[in-house]
Structure 1
């Protein structure tokens, strides 16, 4: 039995080229925006894990005695003085994180639908996939919550069993004694999180898009297919890791080159501005500092655009590869029947498969 994970690599390259070539600036720019949002695989809500520390990182060790005279010197005093403002800031931060998270999950469907239809209509696809995006966001939040619960449960169990539930019993020797078990545990949790996220992105999202199934129903259908085709899915997993590493290396090299190329004109302009400001005696002035700030912002925006453009063909290749493998393993789940037919017809000079022997 052929391994589709091997056979479909070339087809994924052909599908990517047929979608992105000939080059169309408008299409690539739209896809760059989409890829920017999905770059973290739904990572827009990862910031939720850090929001709880907002505003509390730099408290002095003396309980707040470094406040100037007349200012509150206790936590209760700070909350009484600034509580409303802190809650407003935290609420705004959470709102921004959730909005970005929702956009990230919606853009997953926009990207996949663009690959399937080979047309890019960002606003239309966003409207059509609001429900899918919300369901995916809830699933990912639940998955993250489950991982956090496992970690908290593990830490609490270790604290009770190894240290008797007493902070005073925690020693360096005790920590090093449980370190191997902790490493294994976190590797298992990380592997679980990574596999669930990766298979959701590569298989479940296309299944949701091309059928009426939700996240859980798609996962149930996928698990059934995996039980019947263990060898094929394991082969995909192995080759997808290798391809992802290769794509990451290519992206890093191109990203470094892009950073240098994008930085050159900004550095030259900054050098001219610096020499000119010294020549006219404005060095360190507000106008010069504002100009440098604008240049830094423009540089960052330009670099984000260029790196997103670099990611467009790389991410398209990985998604096409996964969807082609899925369709070859389990034909009823195929999200790319038209793309598959077109690229495989092109493999033959006359556009038709060769006649069978004896015909």
Structure 2
């Protein structure tokens, strides 16, 4: 019964494709996909959080924002601008690599620069779409916050039943809003991106096509979502175990060296800090390499399911896959 759904029936084929691409081990393939994982593995936007009160000169200690002057404020704005620019560049690269990764897997040639320039325009469109969706989500949160908190802010104690009810309702609505936001992110990455490549179109046009594909196959889409959740949980557990094992193995010699340096040679803290930096410099690329099979599997998985839903978007080669480039 479950085999009638592509999200289930295609799993074994996806595992075979992943094995064929990644084994026998080739440094070139693994390192390039690890670089892709660095930019797209985390995914999503980090939304700023925090509470903002009523600040006045009387509330601020000496040396705070009120005493910074124009030069200090200018420096803060400059640093914030640089951070924002770097974040946008990072997200842009990640957006382009979403398309490049599909190109790599559909051709069997893991070469990141081959289509990077060609996919830059689509990467910008995808980035702007994701930013727009995020801003809309934040706007809805702001409106809901005004609706639920303004009526109870005027002298209402935190323990008031109305205040507690407003907070709980607000949190519940936010949790409900996360569901469509997560679904949009899921289908944008999994289906909209390859449709944009196949039809050479923008995000909105690709979304229309994806909706047209999924509407008559809503059961397939529903099972796909649940399958991604289950597979995601299983993959997260396996990934965590692998990362912990790697962390333990790599940490052992560093701990021994650190203990010897601290107890026998009485080294300064700076030396131990350098040792920690070296440890992080090793563990981070190792962690990215560990992610390679997982990232590859899930990208193959979405492409293969999409190809079964509509043969026009079957971007993956047949069983006789081309050998990947080293």
Do the two structures share a fold, i.e. TM-score over 0.5? yes
Asked if the contact 1:207/1:218 (under 8 Å) is kept, the reply is yes
Q: 1:319 aligns with which of 290, 294, 299?
A: 299
Give unpaired runs (5+ residues) of structure 1.
68-72, 344-359
The alpha-carbon deviation at position 270 of structure 1 amounts to: 1.9
Using structure 2 for the length normalisation, give the TM-score: 0.89
Stretch of structure 1 that moved more, 207-216 or 186-195: 207-216
Q: Does 1:11 align with 2:7?
A: no
The alpha-carbon deviation at position 76 of structure 1 amounts to: 4.0
The alpha-carbon deviation at position 305 of structure 1 amounts to: 0.9
Aligned to 2:189: 201
The alpha-carbon deviation at position 208 of structure 1 amounts to: 1.7
Change (3 A) 1:300 1:140: same
Q: 1:185 aligns with which of 173, 177, 198?
A: 173
**What do residues 68-124 of structure 1 show as CA deviations (whole Å, max 9, x unaligned)?**
xxxxx7x44323351221121111111111111112212222222222211111122
Listed as ranges, the matches of 1:68-147 within 5 Å are: 75-147=65-137
The alpha-carbon deviation at position 62 of structure 1 amounts to: 5.2
Listed as ranges, the matches of 1:198-237 within 5 Å are: 198-237=186-225
| Structure label with greater radius of gyration | 1
The alpha-carbon deviation at position 148 of structure 1 amounts to: 0.3
Does the residue aligned with 1:89 lie in a helix, a strand or coil? helix
Whole-Å Cα distance in 1 between the matches of residues 155 and 315 of structure 2? 58
Asked if the contact 1:27/1:120 (under 8 Å) is kept, the reply is yes
Q: 2:271 aligns with which of 269, 291, 302?
A: 291
Asked if the contact 2:57/2:66 (under 8 Å) is kept, the reply is no
Does the residue aligned with 2:10 lie in a helix, a strand or coil? helix
Aligned to 1:39: 41
Aligned length in residues: 317
CA-atom RMSD in angstroms = 2.4
Whole-Å Cα distance in 2 between the matches of residues 217 and 225 of structure 1? 13
The alpha-carbon deviation at position 220 of structure 1 amounts to: 0.6
Aligned to 1:64: 60
Asked if the contact 1:30/1:122 (under 8 Å) is kept, the reply is yes
Structure 1 stretches of at least 4 aligned residues deviating more than 6 Å after TM superposition:
none
The alpha-carbon deviation at position 131 of structure 1 amounts to: 0.7
The alpha-carbon deviation at position 60 of structure 1 amounts to: 11
Asked if the contact 2:303/2:314 (under 8 Å) is kept, the reply is yes
Q: Does 1:250 align with 2:238?
A: yes
Whole-Å Cα distance in 2 between the matches of residues 117 and 34 of structure 1? 16
- Structure possessing the higher relative contact order (Cα contacts under 8 Å, 6 or more residues apart): 2
Whole-Å Cα distance in 2 between the matches of residues 124 and 61 of structure 1? 56
Asked if the contact 1:207/1:335 (under 8 Å) is kept, the reply is no
Q: Does 1:308 align with 2:288?
A: yes
Whole-Å Cα distance in 2 between the matches of residues 176 and 34 of structure 1? 44
Asked if the contact 1:327/1:334 (under 8 Å) is kept, the reply is yes
Listed as ranges, the matches of 1:265-276 within 5 Å are: 265-276=253-264
The alpha-carbon deviation at position 301 of structure 1 amounts to: 2.1
